[in-house]
Amino acid sequence: MRETRRLFWATVWLAIALIAVKAFYLGVPAVRTPTAGWDYLRDLAAISFVDVLLAGGVWACGRAALRISGDRRGATRAVTAAVLAFSAFSCVYELASVFFFGVFGGFLTYPLLALVGDVRMLRSSVTAQVTIYNLFGLAGLPLVYLALVHGTMRGTKASSGPWWRPRGIALAALGVLWVLLGQQFFAREWTTRRDRQVAGNPQWVFVSSWWRAVAGEGAVRMADRFTPADLTDFEPVRRHARAGRQQAARRPPNVILIVLESVAARWTSLNRGLYDSTPNLKAESARGLVHDNFYAHIGRSSNSLGSILLSAYPKLNFRDLTEEYPRLPGTSLASVFHDRGYRTAFFTPSNLDWAAWDTFLDRRGFGNLIDDHALPCATLLSSWGVEDRCMVDGMLQFIEREPARPFFLMAWSQQTHHPYEPTPGVPLLGFVRETVTDQYDLERYLNVLHETDRHLGRLFDAIRRAGLDQDTLVVVTGDHGQAFGDPHDSYMQGRTVYEEDVKVPLLIWYPRLYQSATRASTIGGHVDVAPTIADLAGVPAASDWQGRSLFDPEHAPRAYFYVAEDHFALGMREGNWKYIVDLRAGTEELYDLDRDPTEQHNLATRQPERCARLRQRLAAWTDANRRQYDKVR
């Protein structure tokens, strides 16, 4: 009877301890009201119901072991001692997993553990989490757990007997209710959240990944050796860009850099997309160059901002670059033009307080930082900001103020961000005529993209009316892609490194240089934007830029990208080959994009030598990235 009670309280306190760890992850509710409290309980149930299931499984296994042990006192004590030891360890492991959840972008898996030695930037990220407070928590939680079990046993000693059975039934019913409600709340409210993997149980995640690795062919390992030449893709050129692209007798060109929020090449009209969603950009491409193989390095806006503006690869981790490194050293593209007497400004219809963008953009060469608070619109369209129309209105006002003086504008749209809020009063068009997985969101998204494109058409028209078309360079790209469940089972952004998530449009509109529509197959990425613009404007590239001009004949036919969300995967494009290695799952994929543009046929097992060589290049990237950010701690 005593060991049965000990087992009972050991598993009850295990469930409570694991729920408490998940509560620690959620933090304290910002607002203390009944509604906020109920929302908090729903979130807590959603991310801890699997932990309660684990505790129930531990009780069931322990109860079965006690039955097998019979009346042998030594055996029954050994069973409960084993349960207590496992439970105490589970408390430590759960808390450590929550501490490192942000480092690994999920809970630790066996393949990821095997790769920590190869992917060196992970070691520095892990070390950064080892603080005195974290160590104190890791040491203290199992002691508190054991003390609670012991104290409960002592407190109920005098009431030995069947007293605990109705209470046990009540607690078991409460646990079942918690699991059922948590499952429902997770399915309703957490399936699209970036951190939804915290709802898993870290012990089960690790054990199941180990079992898959043992039962299968084993996890793929990153190549630890690479040639010094592999590092040249990530080293600054440290030489001047080629000049002379502009006509010598003309004034320096105005430059407008437009970044379309959450816009993949797949959904535009520029890159032979499925829908005529950007007819104005398509029409303007008759006086420009469209790049068909251009990539974001990650499906995260803040990291794309750093890559585009500073020509620097983002850190290979799970955080927003602008928040982690708001004062990241580097030469801003805006500073290059500001130092040459250009008027400069940054426009967005969103709020620059988000992810410390205001701090990151401060002292980067922008004379003005204009967000939704300063634009000529008062009504928010969504929590993300005002209409993209307002951004274009602000840009037109800026251009008209001093049209004779060269200007550099950088604009970042927002209306195409989820929830894809249409402009009031604008009727929705029927773009999607076939049956697709996420038709509702895709329809709204394409309509909003079409509306943003309409306002960009106003911008191009205004440039022509002002007689500035021969003196203005406009570059349009996307910050990352967007997925709608086709051709892969992925939604929103930043969940994979498939084409719909990382391949973005790139239009270079420059009537002075292009009198007819031109296309290029050059492979490039966001780090190449700044040196390409500098090259076209005839100004030297900054010596610390990691990218290369897309017109540089020495530009490597490669692009690199990664994902740090549902998966922790590195990927690259080299020629027609696309290679992906999932560090958490320990798997690899290889696609021939010329023959398989939607990435449906994995050729990794057929091309082991090619995969090994591309892994070497990715290993070089991780090494260069670690050293790059070790310098800015």
Question: Which pLDDT value is given to residue 157?
Answer: 62
Report helix, strand or coil for 339. coil
Strand segments, DSSP code E, in 306-362 are 343-347
Q: How far from 565 is each of 166, 263, 405, 499, CA to CA, in Å?
A: 44, 19, 44, 16
Closest to 284 in 3D by CA, of 436, 88, 456, 42: 456
Report the CATH number of the 223-241+556-633 domain: 3.30.1120.10
Is-contact 88 142, C-beta < 8 A?
yes
> Per residue in 5-57, pLDDT tens?
888 888 989 999 999 999 998 888 877 788 888 889 999 999 999 999 999 89
Task: Put residue 108 in one of left, alpha, beta given phi > 0 → left and psi -120 to 50 → alpha.
Answer: beta
pLDDT in tens, 522-548: 999 999 999 999 999 999 999 999 999
Helix locations, 407-543, DSSP H: 439-465, 499-502, 529-537
Q: What is the pTM of this model?
A: 0.77
What size, in residues, is the chain? 633
Residue 443 reports pLDDT greater than 70: yes
Neighbouring residues of 99: CB distance < 8 A, sequence distance ≥ 6: 129, 134, 137, 138
Beta bridge partners of 298: none
Given a cut of 80, is residue 515 above it in pLDDT? yes
Q: What is the pLDDT of residue 295?
A: 98
Mean pLDDT of 177-187: 90
| Of 235 and 438, more confident | 235
- Please compute the mean of the pLDDT values over residues 482-486 and round it to a whole number: 88
Q: Go through 252-288 and write b for each residue having 16 or more CB atoms within 10 A of its CB, e for each that does not.
A: bbbbbbbbbbbbbbbbbbbbebbbebbebbbebbebb
410-438 pLDDT per residue, tens:
999 999 998 899 999 999 998 887 777 78
Element (H, E) at 275: none
In sequence order, the 6+-apart residues with CB closer than 8 A to the CB of 418 are 262, 441, 492
Average pLDDT over residues 192-217: 76
**Amino acid identity, residue 448?**
V
CA angle 39, 44, 47 (to 5 degrees): 125
Neighbouring residues of 629: CB distance < 8 A, sequence distance ≥ 6? 121, 124, 315, 325
Nearest to 382 by CA among 335, 338, 444, 324: 444
pLDDT for res 242: 47
**Residue 531: partners with Cβ closer than 8 Å, 6 or more residues away:** 237, 241, 311, 541, 545, 547, 548, 549, 552
- Residue 152: closest CA among 3, 20, 13: 13
Helix 202-215 to helix 34-69 angle (10° resolution) is 50
Q: Which CATH number among 3.90.550.10, 3.40.50.720, 3.40.720.10, 2.102.10.10 corresponds to the domain 254-339+352-482+512-551? A: 3.40.720.10
Whether residue 293 contacts residue 99, with contact meaning beta carbons closer than 8 Å, is answered with no
pLDDT tens digits, 69-102: 887 878 888 988 998 999 999 998 898 888 877 6
Write out the two tokens for 157. 């000693």
218 or 381, greater pLDDT? 381
Residue 51 makes CB contacts below 8 A (sequence gap 6+) with 15, 18, 19, 21, 22, 94, 201
Token couple for 406? 């060269």
Structure-token match 């750093």, residue found: 306
- Pairing relation of β-strands 368-370 and 558-564? unpaired
274's enclosing H/E stretch is: none
Return d(Cα 283, Cα 297) in angstroms, integer: 28
Domain parsing of the chain, residue ranges = 2-215, 223-241+556-633, 254-339+352-482+512-551
- Tens of pLDDT, residues 241-254: 444 454 444 667 99
Assess contact for 269 and 275: CB atoms under 8 A.
Answer: yes
pLDDT band for position 240 (cuts 50, 70, 90): very low
For CA atoms 193, 195, 199, 203, the dihedral sign is: positive
Residue 579 has which token pair? 């290679």
Q: End-to-end CA distance of the chain, in Å?
A: 57
Q: Mind listing the pLDDT tens digit for each residue in 544-554? A: 999 999 999 99
Instruction: Please report, rounded to a whole number, the percentage of residues in the chain having pLDDT higher than 70.
Output: 89
Distances in Å between the Cα of 222 and the Cα atoms of 114, 119, 546, 591, 611 are 10, 8, 23, 18, 10
Q: Which residue from 287, 280, 279 is spatially nearest to 470, judged by alpha carbons?
A: 287
Rounded Cα distance between 629 and 121, Å, is 9
For residue 196, CA distances in Å to 47, 185, 199, 262 come to: 8, 12, 6, 20
* Residue closest to 82 by CA, chosen among 51, 46, 58: 58
Map residue 188 onto helix, strand or coil: helix
